[in-house]
Amino acid sequence: MDWNHITVGSALGFVVGVILAWLIKPYIDSYLKKKGENKAVFEDGTRINRQTEGVRSEFVGPNAYAAEKAKAAATKEDIQEITRKIEEVKNSFSTQLELLKWELSMRATLYRLAAEKQFEALAEIGRALYEMELSTRRLRPALDHFDPDEPEEERYRRRWGKWAETRNDFMDAVEKNKLFLPQDVYAQFNVILRLSEKESIDFQACLAYGEGRLKGSAYLQGQKNIDEMDKKIREALTAIRQRYGIEG
């Protein structure tokens, strides 16, 4: 046996082993360190999970009933709030309905009172219109009837005085009741008044032209004015009857 050869080979093997151990030592240390960290993380995660489950068990278990009770209470509060709002809407609607009823009742009352006032006004105006129509016709009628003992000038003065009185009564009746008259009816009454006044003016002009006497042509002109006034009176009466459903 060659001892020198063995000794040299052993020495070389030892040296190579030391070198290899020195080279791989950092990797081994790093691996062991990482392994230790992973193990610590795993152990920490496991411990945290156990603690979390414990806390959840401790909270949910005893408080599950409280949670359901709170949920039910919240639902009850919601229902109460909805019911309260419904009642508010109902009360508001009832108030508005009562207000509408009151307004309709008030309007109906006002319309009734206005209609009554209109009928009263038309009745008063109708009486005054009748008197003015008669006095206008009598200023110079085509067929005249008079007292032969009465002086002609006095007769005409008396007739004109009667006309002026009835004209003023008719105008007063229309004007003081115009608040209750429809606008078109009020306008028609004023047209009738102007036609009656036209006949009065023509009557006075004929007397002045005839030196206190009426000539034949004066009666013809008077009849023309009367016919025109009668036409407007008929139109006004028809309009009034139709307005109130007295005549179709």
What's the pLDDT at 96?
82
CATH architecture assignment, domain 110-243:
Up-down Bundle (1.20)
Say if CB 156 and CB 212 are below 8 A apart. Answer: yes
Per-residue pLDDT tens over the stretch 99-121: 778 778 778 887 787 778 888 99
Output the CA torsion 207→212→216→221 (10° steps).
10
Per-residue pLDDT tens over the stretch 186-214: 999 999 999 999 999 999 998 888 767 78
Per-residue pLDDT tens over the stretch 123-141: 999 999 999 999 999 999 8
Which of 168, 140, 143 has its CA nearest to residue 155? 140
Domain boundaries, the chain: 110-243
The residue with greater pLDDT, 73 or 90, is 90
Distance between CA 132 and CA 169 in Å, rounded? 8
The mean per-residue pLDDT over the stretch 216-241 comes to 92
What's the pLDDT at 210?
78
Contacts of 160 (CB under 8 A, 6+ apart): 139, 200, 203, 204
Residue 69, both tokens: 């009770």
Distance between CA 210 and CA 231 in Å, rounded? 29
Contacts of 182 (CB under 8 A, 6+ apart): 118, 243
The residue with greater pLDDT, 139 or 72, is 139
What's the pLDDT at 3?
42
Task: Indicate if the pLDDT at residue 50 is higher than 50.
Answer: yes
Distance between CA 200 and CA 198 in Å, rounded? 5
Does the predicted model carry a pTM greater than 0.75?
A: no
**Angle, helices 183-209/216-243, rounded to nearest 10 degrees:** 170
